[in-house]
Structure formats: structure tokens, C-alpha cells
Copies of this chain bind each other. A is one copy, B any other.
């Protein structure tokens, strides 16, 4: 096991990582940064597919919250997440739940959460190479959890007017928008992410609101690299 502890460079937060099991990426950081709290009131938060707990841990430095529940299907990774929570003394704020999100009705409450967040496995099963390491494969592919699974679990667990935040591959945008509206979570905010100003979008940040009115508000594009291959100011501000 080649575990390491990384410093998150904010509020002294740390995280346990393991390249053979799970390491967080820029996408998790972008998603955590995209989430708005509820102003002065404390949010109940659910993270679907938390991996090593990166999003809940970052959120503690970002929004006011009452409690964060974080579901991870893989036993070894959820153990790693739980140890990261302990390392940061966040046991009273964040609960790691080792379970399958498809079975959400068995262990999560209906209409409980103000915010549901998910940085889900990206590739459709059958697209791209499935990683031979089972843990990495489940984290990257829709083996245990499809877009439909996430949107349905979010609809069930969100309060009316609660927000689902999701980051996904840009080429799945139609799938996400279609599933959200079909299920009753209206796509309300969108931010496209481009590797460069002359490159196609490769990621998308979306916020949907349960039972929301139709109107999709766009945000300025997020450009990752400038013409010299360096992070843009926008990324520096989020990531550094």
C-alpha cells in the first residue's frame, strides 16, 4: 500500500491518498469550489461517490453546514476516507457511509438534504479502457453508478428547491440535462470548462434544483491553461 498524506493548503486540512486506490483530481476541487452554501443557514449535505472524502473535507472550509453524509461503495476507499476524516478531527461533521447509492432508499432519508453533490465515475461502461485494478475501474467507470442512479438518488434525498451539483465530462451534457429534467431536477446553472480558449470544452459544472422553474443560467467559461500552457488566473485562484 503506497498511501501518502497530502496537505490541502487550506485550513490545515489534509487528505490520505493512494494511487492504487483513489487520488482526487482537479475536477473534485472545481466542483467543491462551485458549490454555494445557504448564506447564514447551515446546509445538510450529501456527497454521492465521495472517494477518499475530498469534497466533504474541502467543503468544511467553504460553506456553512450542519452535517455532511458521504457515500462510497468501495470498502477500502471508504476506510481511507474515514481515516482522512479522523486525521482532520471532522468525525462530528462528516459521516462516511460505505454503501451502494442505488440502494439509497434503504439508508438515506427522503427530502433531507439542502445540497447533493457528485463527482461521479466518468466513462460509460463500454467506453474507453476499463482499468484492470478493480478499485480504479469502479471510480472511473459507471460500473456501480450511472447518471440516472445519481439523479434519482438526488431527487429522492433533496428537499424541494434543494440543489444537485455535479461535474462531468462535457460529452455527457445531454445525458445529464435529459435525466435531470425527466426526473424533476431542473438544470439551473452551468459552467463549461475548456482546457484552453481554442479547445473544445471537456468538463461541465451543473447545478440543478429539485422542482425548479425552467431557465438555465450560464456562467463565464472556465479556461484551464493559457496560451503558454500555464494555469490561468481563474485556476490559480481556485487551485493554488
Contact = CB atoms under 8 A, between A and B. Distances in A.
Interface of A: 170-175, 177-178, 180-182, 186-187, 190, 192, 194, 197-202, 214-221, 223
Contacts of A187: 173-174
Given A174-B177, A216-B173, A201 B197 contact: no
Given A177-B177, A192-B192, A171 B220 contact: no
Nearest to A202: B218
A216 B178 contact: no
Q: Which 5 A-B pairs have the closest CB atoms?
A: A201-B218, A200-B218, A174-B187, A174-B216, A177-B177
6 contacts: A173-B190, A173-B216, A174-B187, A178-B178, A192-B218, A221-B221
Contacts of A199: 220
Given A174-B181, A215-B171, A220 B192 contact: no
Nearest to A234: B198
Nearest to A127: B215
Given A194-B221, A197-B221, 14 more contacts: A170-B218, A173-B177, A173-B187, A174-B181, A174-B214, A177-B178, A178-B178, A192-B221, A194-B220, A197-B220, A200-B217, A200-B219, A201-B218, A221-B221
A228 to B, nearest CB: 16
Contact of A170 (B171, B174, B194, B216): B216
A174, A199, A215 pick with most chain B CB within 10 angstroms: A174
A197 B200 contact: no
